Structure 1
Amino acid sequence: MTKTVCIISLTPVTDEPRVLRQSKALADAGWSVIVAGFRGRQEPPAFWRYIEVEHVYETRRLIENVKLDWKRRLSPYSGQYAEDYYWSHAGYDGIYEHIATLENVRCDLAIAHDYFTAPIAARLAALSGGRFSVDCHEFSYEQYMHDPKWIRRERPWVHAMEKRFLPAASVVTTVCDGIADALQSTYKLQKRPVVVRSTAFYHDLPFRPAGERIEVLYHGIVSPMRGLEQTIESVKLWKPEYHFVIRGPGPDDYIGSLRALADQHGVTDRVRIDPPVPFNEMVPRANAADIGFFVQPDISRQKRFTLPNKFFEYVQARLALCVADLPEMARLVKEHGLGTLVPQITPDAIAAQINDLTREKINAYKQASMTAAMTLSWQSEADVMLRAYGIEPARPKEMAAT
């Protein structure tokens, strides 16, 4: 009998790389796949049973809001209060009812993406007589350490939620070793979370030597705390043939502020901000660039242990890499000879590393990405995920990029 998995991610799931890869591996292993989440720009894959959900906020009386706020405040002392607050917060109860009652979902395995879907997955697993797992994209306990309001108001509740649900999950997975260790030590987990890196599907793309114009590409979510402001400011210090391209989704006002910053520093002719492209086009489009770029500040363990989708997408695009000197990315850059590391997130430090990337070095790093592409691909990582869920991968396996 075919087993069923329900993947719950409160993101635009049709554009969410980790959900798309995860669901493909499970479908290839013979499982029936249900995915619940917000609608993205792309149509869902044909093999999904897709359930579009949304937050529905209820109007409450003042006294009800006061009671709920006290539950949030008391959540560090009571996991039940933390969960009670959750079910009345941001319409999560309505999302569960949509999946379990309106759509009548029953599954053998419910996979929660991050702590804020864990209660939904846990309740759905209990209803179905199945298991639930939590896939932690982040070390959420330190996710917004730059925001004093979040630290004061939300962080204790986040900690209480993860403390309640991570130990109860049949499997906890995460994206890198640093976060796996932090989760295990913070929540006293009996088993270390299984590391399933956010590697990209393998792409068979050509080596493209650097030309007269050198393109430095950042692609991904366009938002603060990703070093974009410092990088735009640094462009005026770059050699004239080097240009910076930002490609991805982001709030209009923030993107407008980046354009204004480029104008302020006199580099509008060398900074281009492109709209996002569909998931299937991200890596092939990136192949037209020369350097894959990502820096962010080391202000917390969450930031320190970053190992994002884009790192592996740049490798699949056969780019040279220029990334922050943070331990998870640095280890792979050094192991595979993929590029250069930025020691500080300042305009001067960024410019120094970019200017040091001669065409000869760029081509050598691109060749290193050619060599590492299969090793650092989802084709190599999918089996790790399947075995974490107790699923033996099918043989022979063909998992081409979708």
Structure 2
Amino acid sequence: MFSLVANAGTVDGRVMKQAATLRDSGYDVWLYGLLVPGSAESEQAHGINVRRIPYFDSKKVSSRIKATALSVFGRNQDLIDQTDKALREANARKQELANWLNEKRERVYYEAANKATGHFLKKKYKSKKQELKNLVAELEAAKGSVFYYRYYQFAENLISHRFETLPDIIHAHDLMALPGAVALSKLTGAKVIFDAHEIETERTPPLPADRKQFIKELEEDLFQHIDEMVVCCDSAADFYFDIFKKKRPILVMNAPDNRFLTNTAPPGHDIRSQSGLSAETPLIVYTGAVGLEARGVDKIVQSLRYLPGYHLAIQGPRKDKFDSWLRAIAEEEGCLDRVHFLQSVPQDILVDTLRTGDVGVCAFQDVSLNHRYALPNKLFEMAFADLPLCLSNLVEMSKFIQRVGNGVCMDETNPSAIAEAIRHVYENRQRYTLSPSGKEALSREYSWATQARRLQEMYAKLGRPIAFPKLMA
């Protein structure tokens, strides 16, 4: 089977957990991801064959490959086709300019017949060089701004790849990978699974109206060609059932793989020790990407104003601008010395790393339907680390707290209310420690073993047909 995702692949915990589960179930798993700086085109990762392809590639493809890639875009086919022609013409012009400059370089500087000719050639050379520079800048800007074209280019590059084997099932993670999955299924007869990590039309920050309409139409057109759909929470299943219509999507939550839990912080990864804190110091834990306001980490930092003596450890992937942004807020609140920015750790030790905190907090803001329905992996990671939780008072998080009973929901928009919830949970930690029934519910309903079983059952129903390729590139 093929697993497709529009990132490097191995960095995506959901993708890798599923790939490992299917590998252990006897499937020959090939993961096709995105070639990004620092990643290899080909590697083996945990027994999984990983291959990576670029988003944009100006290489020529056969008319059949182009037609197949375009055909899956339904109502947006003309839009994609026009954009593709314009970008390819610009790429051709870029190559033409580059060739001219290479031919003229020596003549301009070393072989001018006389001073006047040399001056003319040099001036023309500089003019053409600037033209090329401008064109390259325009092309790069177009690649980033032509939102919808990335879906097509990824699909075209995928199906023009020379595969070492062919799939019987193609599992597309997120919408960016789905056009390629559908196009490849047309060439191989493979069945298609769409795994919606997000509600695509409701991403954060909100999409402009034209992009949202493109996504809506693309989903409706592509969903006619998929065999199964997977989502991360019940609310997303309800949302997509209205669009998919064939059947209710399969629920596979973002639970951590609890097979690797040791119930002890790994050596060198005790967040309390890393933060330089004593056992008596109240320690709040936030894990996951930081981003800007939508994740509410700024409000968690601001809540420290009302929590003298409490410290906050932030563990997760960040870009420097996010650290700078949060540091400025912490400095303004007078609590920078109580905020600890820790490095990410591998997924297989993350849960055990979190164990030395006192309270886990997740303050997603209700800025989109995607956030309102969020049931993020960080929630499960903190729960399996036995941390009592303070969560946003949103649909899925509220349901989780009611079911498991290991924390409270709070007004995620108000730093004072966040502080009140944190203090209450910290001072009543025994009350919010998982009870035997809570542990049983967490393990039975939310463990990766349960999610893996659903995944395996779905694959078993699809069967394992032999794909007879019509013709590959």
Partner of 2:460: 390
* Residue type at the aligned position of 1:238: L
Aligned counterpart for 1:33 among listed residues 29, 34, 40:
29
Query: Per the alignment, in what secondary structure is the counterpart of residue 381 of structure 2?
Result: helix
Partner of 2:251: 195
- Aligned-partner Cα distance in 2 for 1:354–1:180: 31
- Aligned-partner Cα distance in 1 for 2:376–2:447: 13
- Aligned-partner Cα distance in 2 for 1:86–1:356: 56
Structure 2 counterparts to residues 355-394 of structure 1, below 5 A = 355-359=423-427, 361-368=428-435, 370-375=439-444, 376-390=446-460
- Aligned-partner Cα distance in 2 for 1:367–1:181: 29
* Residue type at the aligned position of 2:432: Y
Q: How far apart are residue 34 of structure 1 and its match? A: 0.5
Query: Per the alignment, in what secondary structure is the counterpart of residue 269 of structure 1?
Result: helix
Aligned CA distance change for structure 1 residues 317 and 33 (closer, same or farther; 3 Å): same
Query: Per the alignment, in what secondary structure is the counterpart of residue 390 of structure 2?
Result: strand
Query: Per the alignment, in what secondary structure is the counterpart of residue 230 of structure 2?
Result: strand
Q: How far apart are residue 314 of structure 1 and its match? A: 1.1
Structure 2 counterparts to residues 239-250 of structure 1, below 5 A = 239-240=308-309, 242-250=310-318
Give the number of equivalent residue pairs.
368
Structure 1, residues 340-364: CA drift from partner, whole Å, max 9, x if none? 11134211111111111234x2234
Structure 1, residues 42-91: CA drift from partner, whole Å, max 9, x if none? 985331110022322659xxxxxxxxxxx9xxx9x924346657978237
RMSD over aligned Cα, in angstroms? Answer: 3.0
Query: Per the alignment, in what secondary structure is the counterpart of residue 182 of structure 1?
Result: helix
Q: How far apart are residue 133 of structure 1 and its match? A: 0.9
Aligned CA distance change for structure 1 residues 167 and 290 (closer, same or farther; 3 Å): farther
CA contact under 8 A between 2:307 and 2:419: conserved in structure 1? yes
Structure 2 counterparts to residues 282-321 of structure 1, below 5 A = 282-321=350-389
Structure 2 counterparts to residues 327-342 of structure 1, below 5 A = 327-342=395-410
Aligned CA distance change for structure 1 residues 96 and 104 (closer, same or farther; 3 Å): farther
CA contact under 8 A between 1:15 and 1:278: conserved in structure 2? no
Partner of 1:53: 53
CA contact under 8 A between 2:261 and 2:349: conserved in structure 1? no
Aligned CA distance change for structure 1 residues 119 and 29 (closer, same or farther; 3 Å): same
Partner of 1:126: 186
Aligned CA distance change for structure 1 residues 44 and 260 (closer, same or farther; 3 Å): farther
Aligned counterpart for 2:167 among listed residues 101, 107, 114:
107
Partner of 1:161: 218
- Aligned-partner Cα distance in 2 for 1:323–1:332: 10
Structure 2 counterparts to residues 270-289 of structure 1, below 5 A = 270-289=338-357
Partner of 2:421: 353
Aligned CA distance change for structure 1 residues 228 and 94 (closer, same or farther; 3 Å): closer
Structure 2 counterparts to residues 86-105 of structure 1, below 5 A = 89-90=149-150, 92-93=152-153, 96-98=156-158, 101-105=161-165
- Aligned-partner Cα distance in 1 for 2:163–2:284: 45
- Aligned-partner Cα distance in 1 for 2:302–2:311: 12
Structure 1, residues 5-28: CA drift from partner, whole Å, max 9, x if none? 111111232121111110111111
CA contact under 8 A between 1:6 and 1:34: conserved in structure 2? yes
Q: Which runs of 5+ in 1 are unaligned?
A: 60-70, 394-402
Aligned counterpart for 2:394 among listed residues 326, 342, 346:
326
- Aligned-partner Cα distance in 1 for 2:360–2:83: 39
Aligned counterpart for 2:201 among listed residues 141, 159, 165:
141
Q: Percent identity?
A: 25
Q: Which has the larger radius of gyration?
A: 2
Structure 1, residues 293-346: CA drift from partner, whole Å, max 9, x if none? 111122332111101111111122111111101111111211111111113421
CA contact under 8 A between 1:35 and 1:50: conserved in structure 2? yes
- Aligned-partner Cα distance in 2 for 1:392–1:128: 16
Deviates more, 1:325-334 or 1:173-182: 325-334
Q: Which runs of 5+ in 2 are unaligned?
A: 60-69, 88-148, 266-277, 464-473
CA contact under 8 A between 1:184 and 1:192: conserved in structure 2? yes
Q: How far apart are residue 166 of structure 1 and its match? A: 2.2
- Aligned-partner Cα distance in 2 for 1:308–1:253: 23
Q: How far apart are residue 390 of structure 1 and its match? A: 2.7
Query: Per the alignment, in what secondary structure is the counterpart of residue 352 of structure 1?
Result: helix
Structure 1, residues 77-116: CA drift from partner, whole Å, max 9, x if none? 9243466579782375356435653334410111111111
Aligned CA distance change for structure 1 residues 278 and 246 (closer, same or farther; 3 Å): same
TM-score, normalised via structure 2 length: 0.71
CA contact under 8 A between 1:167 and 1:189: conserved in structure 2? no
Query: Per the alignment, in what secondary structure is the counterpart of residue 433 of structure 2?
Result: helix
CA contact under 8 A between 1:26 and 1:386: conserved in structure 2? yes
Partner of 2:103: none
Q: How far apart are residue 370 of structure 1 and its match? A: 4.7
**Greater helix content:** 2
Aligned CA distance change for structure 1 residues 328 and 81 (closer, same or farther; 3 Å): farther
Partner of 1:6: 2
* Residue type at the aligned position of 2:199: F
TM-score, normalised via structure 1 length: 0.83
Partner of 1:232: 301
Q: How far apart are residue 238 of structure 1 and its match? A: 1.3
Partner of 1:67: none
CA contact under 8 A between 1:82 and 1:160: conserved in structure 2? no
Query: Per the alignment, in what secondary structure is the counterpart of residue 244 of structure 1?
Result: strand
